[in-house]
Amino acid sequence: MRIVFAGTPEFAVPCLRAAANKAEVVAVYTQPDRPAGRGRGLTPSPVKLEAVQRGIPVLQPENFKSALSKRALRALKPDLMVVVAYGLILPQSVLDIPLHGCWNVHASLLPRWRGAAPIQRAIEAGDSETGVCLMQMEKGLDTGPVLLAQALEIGADETGGQLHDRLSALGAQVLADALGLLRATIALPPHPQPDAGVTYAHKIDKAEARLDWMQPAVALANKVRAFNPWPVAEAQLAGERVRIHGAVAIDEAHAAVPGSVLRAGRDGIDIACGEGVLRIRVLQREGGKAITAADYLNARRDLPR
């Protein structure tokens, strides 16, 4: 079975390994190298690094608009194309090239959280469950029928980074199961997505990381978890801008102005919110590293104890 794999970030790497273990990956498509780091040098994607290590040919077109890019894909004679967080919209003319079409591994239980940031949006919304769907791709954005799905509980304190890693591993397992069935010529029945329950996980803007103390503490705690490790929540704390890496919501009534410090101690720094209290446990000063609230308080003797 000849597979063409298309993916870019670290999330897709376990799926590439699963595909390579189940079939012949004849080529890997990934985004062109981008400037990164302090030197802004061109940096290959994690998927490209994995492909090079495995000796798999790598192609990096800007898009699939040209006839040449489509001819190159057709020349590979793929039985299947597996797409995982590739970052490019594939036109129908590309989806029609592989014998079995194109599969997509998506990190949500569709139709909830179609789009670019399903992991962070699920946590931000306070969802208790998410999962992975293997979808038969069609022209619409994550609208295709689901072939296999696996649910996963979201931990009460789980961060976006932690959930990312668990869903990445689960996605690889779901893909491996599906490839095993395909090799055994066992049909995967397509399940059309229902119209009810559609939500969109829009791409995250760094500006969203700024916390508004007028919001409920529960919403802010979810945002802190969702945006860890990127872009990391930030807020004004007693006149200083800090980044917040860890916080929990406390159900406590108060009459204080949102944003004011209610108390500070070894357990954390309690901030009045529009509803409830946000206890900051891990934070970062400008130019510094992430530290516990207790360490931060050693430098902020002005805060109420």
Domains recognised in the chain with CATH numbers:
2-201 (3.40.50.170), 206-299 (3.10.25.10)
- pLDDT, tens digit, 9 for 90 and up, residues 79-129: 999 999 999 889 999 999 999 999 999 999 999 999 999 999 999 999 999
DSSP 78-130: -SEEEEES--SPPPHHHHTSSTT-EEEEESS-TTTTEES-HHHHHHHTT-SEE
Contact present, 201 and 108 (Cβ < 8 Å): yes
- Residue 18 clears pLDDT 90, i.e. is over it: yes
Q: How far is CA 224 from the centre of its chain?
A: 15
Whether pLDDT at 37 is above 90: no
Question: 229 CB contacts (<8 Å, ≥6 apart)?
Answer: 159, 160, 161
Residue set of the binding site: 108-111
User: What's this model's pTM, rounded to 2 decimal places?
Assistant: 0.95
* pLDDT attached to residue 304: 78
How confident is the model at residue 300, as a pLDDT? 86
Whether 15 contacts 26, CB under 8 Å:
no
List binding-site positions for (6S)-5,6,7,8-tetrahydrofolate.
108-111
Report pLDDT for 39.
Answer: 74
Distance from C-alpha of 201 to C-alpha of 300, rounded to nearest angstrom: 38
Q: Stretch 136-142: mean pLDDT, rounded?
A: 94
pLDDT per residue as tens digits for the range 211-248: 999 999 999 999 999 999 999 999 999 889 999 999 99
Structure tokens at 9: 């970030």
Q: Is the pLDDT of residue 289 over 90?
A: yes
